[in-house]
Chain A
């Protein structure tokens, strides 16, 4: 079975602010929608990568994971992550904040 390296913790990243707006539907009901704006806000979140693969690829993936923080819980092979890191995460920085065992 697969053995994995877990890379986890808290991070800070800039994410687009979502704006709320209302549209009146044909049936008369006002429906709420959200749209992504270009404005960014700094948020603190937690996330986790789980990498599997060969030693060299694992090393490269862990190095890359220091700058590209995960979009939630990501279970991916190191090779695939190295090919398309933006698909699994976005730019941000990890922060030292006490996190419980996971």
Chain B
């Protein structure tokens, strides 16, 4: 745990129930891309974007709108097949909250996630995600300038 003397800020993120999101920690880009592609094909998710949140940490956002139960079923399928412990922890947290969240702002020693790969359609939930990402980034910019 680290604490700094600068005035600290809370973390800002994007939350909803109908977008399939995945949070991979300690995973290489190749592996993330492999699982994102496999999930997209298996569940006909139309497209996805990969965001790099820090070294060997990636977020994946899929395009197709799904129900909350389908969303959790897809994330659970990926968690079971990959066997990633951090992803399963993240899944449990989302189940408790009954909505899934991905970070948009920066965190201690971690920059804000940036898009590193796009594939397939983007006019569904990816479009919404990017809209809210812009909105949150504008809020952060305004806060920093005042």
Q: Which residues of A contact B (CB under 8 A)?
A: 1-9, 11, 50, 55, 58-59, 62-63, 65-66, 73, 93-102
- Bound-complex Cα distance A12 to B33 (A): 39
Instruction: Name the distance in Å between A94's Cβ and chain B's nearest Cβ.
Output: 5
Q: Does B52 contact A (CB under 8 A)?
A: no
- Bound-complex Cα distance A42 to B108 (A): 23
**B residues contacting the other copy or chain, number (CB 8 A):** 36
Residue numbers in B under 8 Å from A101 (CB-CB): 23, 25, 90, 93, 101, 103
Cross-chain contact B13 with A94 (CB below 8 angstroms)? no
Residue numbers in B under 8 Å from A8 (CB-CB): 10-11, 13
Residue numbers in A under 8 Å from B16 (CB-CB): 1-4
Name the contact of A98 in the complex, choosing from B2, B14, B135, B142 (C-beta under 8 A).
B2
Q: Which residues of B contact A (CB under 8 A)?
A: 1-4, 6-18, 23, 25, 89-90, 93, 97, 99, 101, 103, 107-108, 128, 132, 135-136, 138-139, 142-143
Cross-chain contact B12 with A102 (CB below 8 angstroms)? no
- Bound-complex Cα distance A74 to B7 (A): 23
Cross-chain contact A58 with B8 (CB below 8 angstroms)? no
- Bound-complex Cα distance A31 to B15 (A): 44
Cross-chain contact B90 with A1 (CB below 8 angstroms)? no
- Bound-complex Cα distance A99 to B1 (A): 9
Residue numbers in B under 8 Å from A98 (CB-CB): 1-2, 107-108
Name 6 interchain pairs, CB-CB below 8 A, sorted by A.
Answer: A6-B11, A6-B14, A8-B11, A11-B10, A62-B139, A73-B97
